[in-house]
Structure 1
Amino acid sequence: MKTNILAPRSDASRPETQPNHEPRYQIFRQSRAGNFMPEFKTDSPAEAVEMFALMAPAFEGGAIRLWDNAAHHLSASVEWRPEQTAFGFVVYHRTNLYHDRLLGVLARHIAERETMRQEIHHSLRLSA
């Protein structure tokens, strides 16, 4: 019986360390001039969704987009809905729209995990 033993991959052979490697996910933030500037790149879908949810716009009502380089499509975007307060001020409410169903499911799991983490942290502070 013949057995092939493969050596572990060196850092130089990993795709993310190769100079011409393009990460799968890229987050773009709209500037006030209307251009979309790349802000964050990663191959991890969980990391991309988490950073997309945390990313703040460059200006009030500015767009943020999550682009999938492998599938060549927009995976997520931000929608801003203006609402007027009782004092007459306009406040924008952010809604994250996930055009990729799996990234939407991942975002929901990340949000649930964060909620659970905050509840545990709060209960630990109360018990101490």
Structure 2
Amino acid sequence: MTDAAPDPKRAHVPILEQIEDAKATLAHRYRSCSTRVRTGQMSQADADREIARARAIRNTLIVVAQHAPAFRAVLEAKRQRRIENDEIDAIRQHPAVQHVLAAFPDADVGLPLPAATEPARADPETATEDAAA
């Protein structure tokens, strides 16, 4: 089996590079649309629409970059919820669980909550010895 080289058309492009490219594209749109309007090849309304689309792309990328941690947190929470829902569905399909659910129609299947951890408490004997020393 050979390792194929990654397809450069599918390469990851960091968000900041995307923003810089969108800024350059917007600047190009301003120049090209202005020229096309001056030469009569494009109406001002069409030029305004093209520029607005390029500006919207740039602005969207900036918002995504500014809120990337929040987006990642939401996506991770959704991924975790899908995993948990798959686990719950698998549990529901178990014959013993189906028997219990049939016997208790109002019952529901869920994942166990994480165990609560209590703060560490000092050993009373050790604390007395430490205080005496």
Normalising to structure 2: TM-score of the pair?
0.27
Q: Which structure shows the higher helix fraction?
A: 2
Q: Which has the higher strand share?
A: 1
The two structures have a TM-score, normalised by structure 1, of 0.28
